[in-house]
Amino acid sequence: MNNKIWLSLAHMSGEEQKYIQEAFDTNWVVPLGPNVNAFEDLLQDYLSEDKKVVALVSGTSAIHLALIQLGVGPGDEVICQSFTFAATANPIKYLGANPIFIDSEPETWNMDPGYLEEAIADRIAKTGKKPKAIIPVDLYGMPANMDAILEIAARYEIPVLEDAAEALGSTYKGRKCGTFGEFACLSFNGNKMITTSGGGALVCSTKEQAKKTLFYATQARDDKTYYQHSEIGYNYRLSNICAGIGRGQMTVLDQYVARRREIHDIYMSEFSTMPGITVFDNPSPDYKSNFWLTCVQIDPVEVGYNNNDVYEAMMKADIECRPLWKPLHLQPVFANEIFYGNGFSTEIFNRGLCLPSSPVLTEYHVERVVDVFRKMKK
């Protein structure tokens, strides 16, 4: 009998229970404690580049606290990659600011530096104000074109917040994703590279930023013995239980990255003989995606069926796959926002599909996925 193949399953190392048990045994069942500190240290060591990591309840909360520290407020504009999950842009709206969406470039599927520059110049010309921040995303684990984006950001003196929620383990020119820009966010939601069942982190450039992040994440309490507050705070700190899961997950992160890359390689070689099916790959040796999800582009003219047909066939074969992220400038909730681009992200959305990429998949599973394509009728 077939058993279901999932898109991207959380998988435990076996170490997680030990850290959770430890938290119970020592009565650290709270949103701070030894697991939180140890998990942050592990992430810091992993990323290096002298970054300071603060563990939070989600990647979304990390973006929110970064934008607050970048001074984003009502009426401000924040430049944001359009081709991404809504969580990248939602915190802009939490703050009463407006996203300015940027299209993708063909090489990385991430923020197009050309449209980024055009947008900045045009917004300054039209509003007399600079956008407050730039949020490029390393989508599906593929690093954004960081040299070009950071150069433009530096020239206009606009801070960068890297959304590396999907890119733990990826590198760009040998440097880990999650270390570019003033801030970066990570996510440990259920189906990301590692899971804490739900969680995230803000990667900060300075100790002061880390301190401030902690302050906002714990209700912005003033330095007094009694409860005094001079600013609005949030309850965003990661639980010590969840951080225990994270500690266990860090022991297998490298293994997971290696296996997701292997799975991508298998797809690459399987589809190399099928014209019209293109596996999204690193555009040059500068980019080393973790291949969180392997994505394909399906050319309906060439193959005689489209991504929706494959999606349906996968469902019937008990295989979970997923459309690509629908660009945010096409989302009803963001219909009134400003967009710069030529529609490239719409094109890849219309032709794309994410294939099962869990590290637990075997060659047999990948073969079953590819077989669905082989059996598609023209």
Ligand X SMILES: *Cc1c(COP(=O)(O)O)cnc(C)c1O
Select from 82-90, 147-155, 170-178, 205-213 the region that touches ligand X (CB under 6 A).
82-90
**Residues 180-219 vs ligand X: string with x where CB under 6 A?**
-------x-x----------x-------------------
- Extract long-range pairs of 314-317: CB within 8 Å, 24+ residues apart: 314/369, 314/372, 317/2, 317/368, 317/371, 317/372
Report the C-alpha gap between 67 and 97 in whole angstroms: 10
Does 145 contact ligand X by CB under 6 A?
A: no
Cβ 170 vs Cβ 34: under 8 Å: no
| Residue 237: CB minimum distance to ligand X, A | 14
Select from 52-60, 70-78, 149-157, 176-184 the region that touches ligand X (CB under 6 A).
52-60
Element (H, E) at 346: helix 344-351
Does 271 contact ligand X by CB under 6 A?
A: no
Report the C-alpha gap between 350 and 132 in whole angstroms: 31
- The b-or-e profile of 97-110 (16+ CB within 10 A means b, else e) is bbbbbbbbbeebbb
Select from 67-75, 158-166, 217-225, 298-306 the region that touches ligand X (CB under 6 A).
158-166
DSSP assigned state of 70: T
Residue at shortest CB range from ligand X:
59
Give the nearer residue to ligand X in terms of CB position, either 66 or 210. 66
Does 279 contact ligand X by CB under 6 A?
A: no
Does 69 contact ligand X by CB under 6 A?
A: no
Give the nearer residue to ligand X in terms of CB position, either 236 or 267. 236
Among 5, 116, 137, 361, binds ligand X (CB under 6 A): 137
Beta strands 200-204 and 175-176, pairing class: unpaired
Element (H, E) at 256: helix 253-271
Does 324 contact ligand X by CB under 6 A?
A: no
Q: Residues in the chain, how many?
A: 378
| Residue 3: CB minimum distance to ligand X, A | 27
Cβ 249 vs Cβ 280: under 8 Å: no
Element (H, E) at 38: helix 34-47
Report the C-alpha gap between 368 and 314 in whole angstroms: 10
- DSSP assignment of 137-205 equals B-GGGPPP-HHHHHHHHHHHT--BEEE-TT-TT-EETTEETT-SBSEEEEE--TTSSS-SSS-EEEEES
DSSP assigned state of 335: T
Does 239 contact ligand X by CB under 6 A?
A: no
**Binding footprint of ligand X, residue count (CB under 6 A):** 14
Select from 35-43, 108-116, 163-171, 265-273 the region that touches ligand X (CB under 6 A).
163-171
| Residue 75: CB minimum distance to ligand X, A | 24
| Residue 55: CB minimum distance to ligand X, A | 11
Give the nearer residue to ligand X in terms of CB position, either 141 or 359. 141
Within residues 83-102, the interface with ligand X by CB under 6 A covers 84-85, 87-88
Give the nearer residue to ligand X in terms of CB position, either 242 or 277. 242
Among 60, 82, 289, 307, binds ligand X (CB under 6 A): 60
Among 103, 166, 182, 270, binds ligand X (CB under 6 A): 166
- By CB under 6 A, name the binding residues for ligand X: 58-60, 84-85, 87-88, 137, 163, 165-166, 187, 189, 200
